């Protein structure tokens, strides 16, 4: 299987490395910066290009891993129409391909936050796949299965839902960790004390509905503790509103 990659960022790098390990051969790697394209080629093979219209029409799959805003621009520069193109975005619909004349297209979305500085275990990554025809979907399915057992066929509308849910469960959660980090640091308490609790909270929902394992002063309607926390948060006015919004939501959800 020959793969060309459009992009040389986090997703392009990590997916490219994993696919090469599973036996894929790289055709071209595009980046606006030839330096970045060359760097990735030196790691996983292929020919660096800095213009999309230099792509050869002889790869089995073209993986578009650029920023969401750049996808349409990339598609407009592709000069052949009979090859399978996929993007890797969690938020862009499959309809982004429709204004063009491509025969085969789809979405190959690994639902994991990707940072090429950090190792990633792809066997734990769910792949959300979509295609405009069944044959392409099966082709993408087999590629995804070579990386992970967690492969799902997910429509664009479902993918949007997933992405929104992930912002809550992942991005906002990480910001809560940062708040805890800053509060403990300011008060000379080792942040590490909180780490086991954080892991346990995340693990608990593998086997429980989150609402069933909700703990804390809000779910107990423990007004005294809540008021003490609000007093302490006078030192952190930027987070007081967040504390109140959460407390109200949790209290309401368990009345």
Site for a second copy in 147-186 (CB under 8 A): 150, 152, 154, 157-158, 160-181, 183-184, 186
Q: Which is closer to a second copy, CB of 49 or CB of 107?
A: 107
Q: Which of 135, 145, 153, 204 binds a second copy (CB under 8 A)?
A: 204
User: How far apart are CB 219 and a second copy at their closest, in Å?
Assistant: 7
Q: Please state, in angstroms and rounded to a whole number, the distance separating the CA atoms of residues 202 and 218.
A: 19
Q: Check binding of 190 to a second copy (CB under 8 A).
A: yes
Q: Helices 223-232 and 237-253 meet at what angle, rounded to 10?
A: 160
Q: How far is CA 205 from the centre of its chain?
A: 20
Q: Please state, in angstroms and rounded to a whole number, the distance separating the CA atoms of residues 95 and 97.
A: 5
Q: Which is closer to a second copy, CB of 81 or CB of 181?
A: 181
Strand segments, DSSP code E, in 31-153 are 47-49, 61-64, 84-87, 104-110, 127-131, 151-153
User: How far apart are CB 89 and a second copy at their closest, in Å?
Assistant: 10
Q: Which of 54, 138, 213, 221 binds a second copy (CB under 8 A)?
A: 213
- β-sheet with 84-87: strand ranges across: 47-49, 25-30, 2-6, 61-64, 84-87, 104-110, 127-131, 151-153
Q: Please state, in angstroms and rounded to a whole number, the distance separating the CA atoms of residues 220 and 254.
A: 9
| Both structure tokens of 179 | 């708040």
For the window 30-59, what string marks contact with a second copy as x by the rule CB under 8 A? ------------------------------
Q: Check binding of 198 to a second copy (CB under 8 A).
A: yes
Q: Are 104 and 132 in contact (CB under 8 A)?
A: yes
Q: Which of 188, 234, 237, 255 binds a second copy (CB under 8 A)?
A: 188
Q: Which is closer to a second copy, CB of 43 or CB of 214?
A: 214
User: How far apart are CB 56 and a second copy at their closest, in Å?
Assistant: 32
Q: Which is closer to a second copy, CB of 29 or CB of 218?
A: 218
Within residues 80-119, the interface with a second copy by CB under 8 A covers 91, 111-113, 115, 118
Q: Check binding of 61 to a second copy (CB under 8 A).
A: no
CB atoms closer than 10 angstroms to residue 155: 13
Candidates 87, 81, 118, 85; CA nearest to 102 is 81
Q: Check binding of 70 to a second copy (CB under 8 A).
A: no
Q: Check binding of 228 to a second copy (CB under 8 A).
A: yes
Task: List the Cα angle 59/41/123 in 5-degree steps.
Answer: 75
Within residues 121-150, the interface with a second copy by CB under 8 A covers 124-126, 128, 150
Q: Considering only 35-43, 46-54, 71-79, 191-199, which stretch makes contact with a second copy by CB under 8 A?
A: 191-199
Residues touching a second copy, count (CB under 8 A): 90
| Both structure tokens of 249 | 């939501």
Task: Check residue 170 and report its DSSP letter.
Answer: I
């Amino acid at each position: 299987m020959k793969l060309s990659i459009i992009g040389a960022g986090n997703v392009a790098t990590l997916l490219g490395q994993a696919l090469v390990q599973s036996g894929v051969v790289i055709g071209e790697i595009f980046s606006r910066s030839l330096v970045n394209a060359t760097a990735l080629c030196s790691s996983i093979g292929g020919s660096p290009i800095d213009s999309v219209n230099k792509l050869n029409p002889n790869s089995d799959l073209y993986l578009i891993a650029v920023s969401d805003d750049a996808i349409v621009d990339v598609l407009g520069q592709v000069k052949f129409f009979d090859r399978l193109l996929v993007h890797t975005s969690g938020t862009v619909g499959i309809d982004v391909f429709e204004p063009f004349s491509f025969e085969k297209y789809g979405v190959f979305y690994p639902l994991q936050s990707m940072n090429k500085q950090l190792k990633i275990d792809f066997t734990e990554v769910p792949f959300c796949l979509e295609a405009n025809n069944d044959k392409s979907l099966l082709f993408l399915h087999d590629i995804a299965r070579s990386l992970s057992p967690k492969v799902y066929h997910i429509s664009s509308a479902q993918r949007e839902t997933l992405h929104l849910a992930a912002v809550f469960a992942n991005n906002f959660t990480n910001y809560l960790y940062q708040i805890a980090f800053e509060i403990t640091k300011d008060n000379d308490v080792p942040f590490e004390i909180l780490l086991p609790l954080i892991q346990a909270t995340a693990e608990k929902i593998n086997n429980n509905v989150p609402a069933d394992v909700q703990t804390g002063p809000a779910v107990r309607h423990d007004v005294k503790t809540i008021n003490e926390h609000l007093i302490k948060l006078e030192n952190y006015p930027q987070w007081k509103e967040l504390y109140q919004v959460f407390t109200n939501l949790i209290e309401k959800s368990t009345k």
